[in-house]
Amino acid sequence: MRTVIHCNFDLCTGCAICQMACAQVKTGGTNPRSALLEIKKEGLIYRPEVCAQCQNAFCLQVCSFEAIYRNDENRVLIDAAKCTGCGLCVEACQINMVSLDQRYKKAIKCDLCGGNPACVEFCPTGALEKITLGGNAGA
């Protein structure tokens, strides 16, 4: 079983409240550019994108330093103390949800806020929801 954030793009208004909530939790500020999720605009549609917590996580597979691991709750996490900032995980992520923190030169990605994602909690339209997948379902 693994927990992911499901994005209902048809409910997203592009308000960026999810990004501000994420940035607040992760950086202490509310700059949406500091968030670990993105809102893509395609024509008149806003599409939230967040780490899929992939079952076959390429970012985890390419990390030579074992900085990326799967915890007991099946979340894909990054141990900043082990991360060298080499960027292989950034290149390996097929959905571009791993990036390098410019201040610390370490890989960063959504960690589901320890199981209670702020983006989901503060999304006013329900465009983001936390769901649990079982077995081999999902990405």
This prediction's pTM: 0.88
* Both tokens assigned to 88: 């292989």
- pLDDT over 60 at 139, yes or no: no
Question: Considering the chain, what is the average pLDDT of its residues?
Answer: 94
* pLDDT, position 2: 86
Distance CA 15, CA 121 (A): 14
Question: Cβ of 23: how many Cβ atoms within 10 Å?
Answer: 22
Distance CA 3, CA 129 (A): 10
Q: Assess contact for 127 and 11: CB atoms under 8 A.
A: yes
* pLDDT, position 90: 98
Question: Residue 135 — pLDDT band, cuts 50, 70, 90?
Answer: low
The DSSP 8-state label assigned to residue 136 in this structure reads: T
Q: Assess contact for 99 and 108: CB atoms under 8 A.
A: yes
Phi, then psi, of 75 in degrees rounded to 5 = -90, 140
- pLDDT tens by residue, 21-30: 999 999 899 9
- pLDDT tens by residue, 57-108: 999 999 999 999 999 999 999 999 999 999 999 999 999 999 999 889 999 9
* pLDDT, position 62: 98
